[in-house]
Amino acid sequence: MATSIETMKSFMNVLKQYANDTTTSGITILDNAVRAVSRFNGLQDAINSFVNDVTDTSRIPDTAQRLKETCGIVLGANHDFNADTGAASGANAGNGTVKNAAGIVPETGTLTELSMPAAGSTTTHSYTTSDGQTFSFNIQWPTSFAQVVDRKWQTFDSYNPEAWTTVALTDQTFVSDLNNNEYTKTYMAQQLKTSIEAITKGMEHWWASESAKLIYDSYGVDFNGKTLKVGYFVNQSNIQADTGPADKNDNDTTPANVIDMAIALPVYGNIDPVDVNGNTRIEGGTQQCYLDRTIAHEMVHAVMQGNGTIKTYNEKTSSVVGMPEFFTEGVAELVMGLDDYDANNVQDIQSLATNREKLSNAMVLAAGTGTDVRYTSGYMFLRYLCQQSLDSQSADTGTSSADMSSAQEALSHIDAKGEDYAQSLLLETLSGHSAARAASYASAGDKVMNYGASSSSLDASMPSFWSNSPTSLIPENGSQDPILVSSQSV
């Protein structure tokens, strides 16, 4: 049965085929990826089924149970920071080990004991993945750690880097109206310099390289040979960070070699200078926002821009349709998860799962940036796609996970015995013995997970439930009216 990691690696393998393509619609690319990992005919078919299933209270009235059965999402309790986050590599997504908020990006020690890179320097970072491969990339640091970029409160519609200015942090005060002016925060220059130091140390020693490793282990895409250009900014509302190619013109979605990552100091102006996760207490300390999670999210954008697997064309200057925002942000959320009690994650998921119209409107096939609801809906959709891939294979095999486990153990033991043993079992099967009886001969022994001789030799004779071939199934609830979506950009 496919885990979320296996499904997402297969999904990404399709996207890799279009790495150097700048003319194919992002929707077409995603259509092909969806078909490769699921029973759906394409992206819109999967969206329709997702919205119907996740909001269908007639079939499963309880919201938590419905999310668990349709998406594999297991919501954490309020104030529980030890719950699995739902990261693709974690327990909720079918990969065994619990990944709580503090454990998504691994660190040890404290920030204070770490060294700072030199301003204006380029440092080299390497990481070794779970399959033993080693990759390296560079981080290019700003020319000063005592200055910031003033981004002039720009929105997506008025986005204009030419209007930005560089401001030295001396003794001035900065006022930031976060979350669309819902509340105001005031920061002293020295406070922002302290935050820059903590963020720089975390990224230099852990957050960037460990995030790159996590992304490879989760999605199978690497950041080898790329350069991450880091900057810090103030005065742009409702933004935690943003990432984009630094060496590409608009609409050139081929692999980038240099990627900008700008981090918003208004959000992280109160970052804990000691906590290894970059903890920020939000309004009274009842919720946590770990910056290492944000870096993991942004690193997904950087890695995908670095290998050409993300297509975000400028709709004002290109006739090519890009990938929708719910996917480009959802795939970044999936690597770190949203199932836990952190920054209203649980409430946001529940809100969408109980409002069909709201969820449907969030799944619009259009680009955009910073539309909060699409981060959550995209994450839920990808968890749903992974869960449906798992369920489809289970339905196709017609067997339980226990049966699969027994079959794997049998094959493992056959491999341990060697090719001659495997061939003798095959001859017995072909001469009249049942495959089940032949397999039962290998029901005990060492479990060496190596499917060499046996899985190839016995392929024609083993029962159909040992096959991992995809299936095409009709949804239980039948076909329903298509969901109308808007083409409006945000």
> Which among 148, 147, 261 has a CA at the least distance from the CA of 202?
261
Q: Are 113 and 206 in contact (CB under 8 A)?
A: no
Assess contact for 138 and 220: CB atoms under 8 A: no
Q: To the nearest whole number, what is the mean pLDDT of the chain?
A: 81
Cα three-residue angle 61-66-71, rounded to 5 degrees: 165
Q: Which residue has the tokens 């998921």?
A: 349
Q: Is the dihedral of CA 293, 182, 75, 102 positive or negative?
A: positive
Compute φ and ψ for 269, nearest 5 degrees: -70, -20
Q: Find where tokens 């000691």 sit.
A: 274
187 vs 397: CA distance, rounded Å: 59
Tell me the one-letter amino acid at 361: N
pLDDT in tens, 168-181: 999 998 877 655 55
**Comparing 7-16, 139-148, 456-465, which segment has the lowest mean pLDDT?**
456-465
CB atoms within 10 A of CB 485: 16
**For 106-122, what is the mean pLDDT?**
92
How many C-beta atoms surround the C-beta of residue 132 within 10 A? 6
320-348 pLDDT, tens per residue? 999 999 999 999 999 999 999 887 899 99
Q: How confident is the model at residue 288 (pLDDT cuts 50, 70, 90)?
A: low
CA atoms within 13 A on the CB side of 335: 31
**Confidence at residue 105, expressed as pLDDT on a 0 to 100 scale:** 95
Query: Could you give phi then psi for residue 152, rounded to 5 degrees?
Result: 60, 35
Say if residue 59's pLDDT is above 90: yes
pLDDT band at residue 416 using 50, 70 and 90 as cut-offs: very low
Predicted structure pTM score: 0.79
Is residue 403 scored above 60 in pLDDT? Answer: no
Greatest mean pLDDT range, 87-91, 178-182, 233-237: 87-91
What pLDDT score does 156 carry? Answer: 66
Q: Are 371 and 377 in contact (CB under 8 A)?
A: no
Non-local CB neighbours of 103 within 8 Å, separated by 6+ positions? none
Q: What would the two tokens of residue 95 be?
A: 């990969």
Which H or E run includes 126?
strand 122-128
Residues, the chain: 490
